[in-house]
Structure 1
Amino acid sequence: MIPVYSVAQIRAVEAQEISKRGEASLMKQAAAELASTAATMLAEKPGTEPAFVIALIGPGNNGGDGLYALAQLQEQGISTLALQFGDQVHAEAATAYQSAGGTLTDYSDGQSELANASLVIDALYGLGYRTGSPLPTLPAHSRVLACDVPSGLHPDTGVAEDNVLRAERTVTFGAMKSGLLTVDAPLVTGEITIAGLGFDFSAVAPETQLVDEAAAQELLDEHRSWRDAGRHKYQRGVLGLIAGSDLYPGAAQLTAKAAVNCGVGLLRTHVPDSVRPLVAVSVPESVPLDDQQIKEALSSSRRHLHGKGAKISAWAIGPGLDGRTPPTGAIAEVFASRQPAVIDASGLEVVPTGPSEQPRVLTPHAKELRMLLGRAGVKVTPDEIAQDPIRWTRWAALAYNAVVLLKGPTSYIVAPNGSSLVVTHSSPQLATAGSGDVLTGILGYLLSDGSLTGTQGMRTVPNRRIMELSACAAIIHGHLGRVTAQDGTVSASRLIDNLPKVMKHFGF
């Protein structure tokens, strides 16, 4: 996992490194990473004309990084141009660039050349950007490589200006910054490369940790064993689904299909009588579950809490429930159990606040998080949630004694003790009806499989593992969105159709 730090933390460590190694040495090292990434981007999409790289040069160290990077590209035989955007530039870096044969000119004089650029390096502000600072206008479809932080993106808050310089790729220095993950940032940073530059963060506690695909794969493999190949269906995970209503019959079917296509050992479905025939036809692998059977399953699970012998090893609650018609009393008994559960949609309206022995994860979007906080007596506005999502997700985790996964372009996973994980992806196509039901099915399956939770017998699943599997589910969901978008528009049904091959990609 990748540690994430605030801008203040980054600046403090950077100052220490400058005092030890010198500003010029550090700047040239950063420039080398920037130049290397630029060369890679040019090689990925070679044009018919010789490569031509333009850098937008700001007045501070960010501009110095850009000039040193252009000098290195110039020495590699790549044609370059530096456009000065402001009254001054870093003098030593400008001298090095011009000594390498490069041309430095005022932005107003060379602006027309931007239309001919194979790649534009944004080296304007970096961490020094302040809201309202002047920004240039680039030609449509410009390929942009951002130096540290895209210009127009506030490095602390992640709020972007309307005319932000949207990057195809960002090389950020020192460590991952929280402002690159929040609010608008995932929509403007493109692919992020972290150039650590040997910064020493050993004495600094990160604000959170970012889970990427590589980390998710390690987390999924943590408890897997060669013996898994010999398991029967009850050992591969039995998921109990409480979902659906006369008003929303489709949500139950989507969640059920998603769980089955993930590879759950057995799916038991508790749905209204009117929905049962629909589920039987659309998900014939599922087995109905009535109130009495829920009681029997919970009784069995009290003896064999999770894994071997458990009739149901985890629950998924909420998709398609009608808030105007509360579900049967069986749901309260599930909430009182010690089996892991993922609770989504209308299930969030009935999950109890306060202490609980059940290891559970709540999966609200921002509006639902506000509702959860309101139920717990905490008043908050949508803007406040957007500006500080981890803070308000922590409040909800504490109020409900549950892991909370706040869904969005960046997903925040927070435990009652305040620890957190972050997942970010660029898959806006996932913002479609039923997508959350698919995520519930994925996470429900992960929580049901003892080889993934690492728990057997009478042990409960610890919150840390609930957090990790929630992050893995968000990673799988994001990857699923990107795969599905490759060959057409995205719908929940198409996501579900692609689940088997995506699960195989993650080793299932």
Structure 2
Amino acid sequence: MIPVYSVAQIRAVEAQEKSKRGETSLMKQAAAHLASTAVAMLAEGHSTEPAFVVALIGPGNNGGDGLYALAELQQQKISTLALQCHEQINAEAAAAYQAAGGTILDLSDGDGELANASLVIDAIYGLGYRAGSDVPSVPAGVRVLACDVPSGLDPETGVAQDSVLRAERTVTFGAMKAGLLSVDGPLVTGEITVADLEFDFSSVQPGTQLVDEQAARELLDQHRSWRDAGRHKYQRGVLGLIAGSDLYPGAAQLTAKAAVACGVGLLRTHVPDSIQPLMAVSVPESVPLDDEQIKEALSFSRRQIHGKSAKIKAWAIGPGLDGRTPPTGAIADVFASPQPAVIDASGLDVVPAGPSEQPRVLTPHAKELRMLLGRAGVKITPDELSQDPIRWTRWAALAYNAVVLLKGPTSYIVAPNGDSLMVSHSAPELATAGSGDVLTGILGYMLSDSSLTGTEGLRTVPNRRMMELTACAAYIHGHLGRVTAADGTVNASRLIDNLPKVMKQFGF
């Protein structure tokens, strides 16, 4: 996992490194990473024209990084130009660039060259950006490589001004900054590379950690065994789904299809009688589950929560329930059980706050999180939530004694003890009806499989493992969105169509 730090933490560590190694040494080290990324990006282009790199140079060390990077490119016989965006620039770096044969022009004199650039390096502000600072425009279609932080993006809050320079890639130095992953960050940074520059963060505790693909694979493999190949269907995960209504029959079917597409051993579905025929046709693998059978399954689970023959190992509750209709009494019985559950959509309207022996994951979007907080007596505005999402997700996790997944371009996963993880997938195509139902199906399956939870017998799933699996489900969901968007527009049904091959990529 990738540790994520605040700007204040990074500045403090950076100051220590400067005192030990000197500013110029650090700038040259950063420039080497920037230049190598620029060369890689140029190699990816298919233009037959000679490469031409233009850098926008700001006043501080960020501008120095850009100038030293241009000097390296000059030495590799790549044509470059530096456009000075401020009255003052780093004199030592400027001299090194000019000694390498480079040219520096004022932005006003050379901005016409931006349209001719194979690549633009944005080295204007970095951590020194302040809201409202001038950000020059770049012609549409020109590729941009951001040095540390895209200009126009607040590195602490992740709020970007309208004129932000959207990057294809960002090389960030020292460590991952919170703002690169928050609010607007995932929409403007492109692919992020962390060049750690051998900074020593041993004395600093990160605010959270980012789950990337490698981390997701490692977390999923934590409890897997070669013996899993010999399991029968009841050992591969039995999921109970309580969902659907006359008003919203589709959500239950989408969640059920997603769970089946993931490879769940057995799916038991508790849906209204009126939509059971639809479920039988659209998800013939599912087995109906009535109130009496739920009580029987819950009684059995008290004796063997995650045993090899447990009738139901985990629950998914909420997709498509009609909030205007009193929920079935079975939901209250399930909430009182010790089996793990993922609760989404209208299930969030009825989940009780306070202590519980049930390991739960609540999966709200921003509006639903404010509703949950309001029910717990905490009133916040949309702006307050967007400015500090981890803080308010922590409040909800504590109030409901549950792992809470706040969904968005960056998803925040927080446990009741305050531990947190982040998943940043930059897949805006997932903002479509039914996408959340698919995520519920994925996570519901994961919670039902003891080879993933690592629990057997009467032990309940620890909140830490609930949080890790939630992050894995969120990562797979984001990857699924990107895969689906690669060959067409995205809807929930197309997500489900691609789910089996994506799950296989992650070892299922």
Coarse TM-score class (shorter-chain normalised): over 0.9
Pairing of 1:293-442 with structure 2 (within 5 A): 293-442=293-442
State the Cα deviation string for residues 284-322 of structure 1 (Å, max 9, x = none): 000000000000000111111114121000000000000
Pairing of 1:64-213 with structure 2 (within 5 A): 64-213=64-213
State the Cα deviation string for residues 309-340 of structure 1 (Å, max 9, x = none): 21000000000000111221111010000000
**Structure 2: which amino acid aligns with 1:248?**
Y
Pairing of 1:50-69 with structure 2 (within 5 A): 50-69=50-69
Displaced runs of 4+ in structure 1, greater than 2 A? none
Distance 1:100 1:111 in 2: 22
- Output the aligned Cα RMSD: 0.5
Distance 1:459 1:3 in 2: 30
Distance 1:178 1:134 in 2: 22
Could you say which residue in structure 2 is the equivalent of 1:466?
466
State the Cα deviation string for residues 119-172 of structure 1 (Å, max 9, x = none): 000000000000011110110011000000000001111000001000000000
* Alpha-carbon shift at residue 88 of structure 1 (Å): 1.1
* Alpha-carbon shift at residue 85 of structure 1 (Å): 0.2
Whether the aligned pair in 2 keeps the contact of 1:237 and 1:307 (CA below 8 Å) is: no
- DSSP 3-state at the match of 2:66: helix
TM-score, structure 2 normalization: 1.00
State the Cα deviation string for residues 48-102 of structure 1 (Å, max 9, x = none): 2000000000011000000000000010010000000010110000000000000
* Alpha-carbon shift at residue 362 of structure 1 (Å): 0.1
TM-score, structure 1 normalization: 1.00
Distance 2:234 2:301 in 1: 12
Distance 2:246 2:307 in 1: 33
Distance 1:64 1:342 in 2: 49
Distance 1:495 1:346 in 2: 22
Distance 1:111 1:135 in 2: 13
**Structure 2: which amino acid aligns with 1:89?**
I
- DSSP 3-state at the match of 1:274: helix
Distance 1:99 1:130 in 2: 32
Distance 1:356 1:49 in 2: 65
Distance 2:492 2:292 in 1: 32
- DSSP 3-state at the match of 2:87: coil
Could you say which residue in structure 1 is the equivalent of 2:37?
37
- DSSP 3-state at the match of 1:268: strand
How many aligned positions are there?
Answer: 508
**Structure 1: which amino acid aligns with 2:191?**
E
Could you say which residue in structure 2 is the equivalent of 1:254?
254
- DSSP 3-state at the match of 2:354: coil
Whether the aligned pair in 2 keeps the contact of 1:55 and 1:82 (CA below 8 Å) is: yes
Which ranges in structure 2 are unaligned for 5 or more consecutive residues? none
**Structure 1: which amino acid aligns with 2:40?**
T
Which ranges in structure 1 are unaligned for 5 or more consecutive residues? none
* Alpha-carbon shift at residue 395 of structure 1 (Å): 0.4
Whether the aligned pair in 2 keeps the contact of 1:307 and 1:449 (CA below 8 Å) is: no
Distance 2:325 2:147 in 1: 54
Distance 2:304 2:281 in 1: 32
Distance 1:272 1:55 in 2: 62
Distance 1:221 1:45 in 2: 36
- DSSP 3-state at the match of 2:95: helix
* Alpha-carbon shift at residue 479 of structure 1 (Å): 0.5
Distance 1:353 1:3 in 2: 31
- Determine what percentage of the aligned residue pairs are the same residue: 84
**Structure 1: which amino acid aligns with 2:428?**
P
* Alpha-carbon shift at residue 46 of structure 1 (Å): 3.1
* Alpha-carbon shift at residue 459 of structure 1 (Å): 0.6
Could you say which residue in structure 2 is the equivalent of 1:3?
3
Could you say which residue in structure 2 is the equivalent of 1:291?
291
Distance 1:188 1:120 in 2: 15
Distance 1:300 1:50 in 2: 71
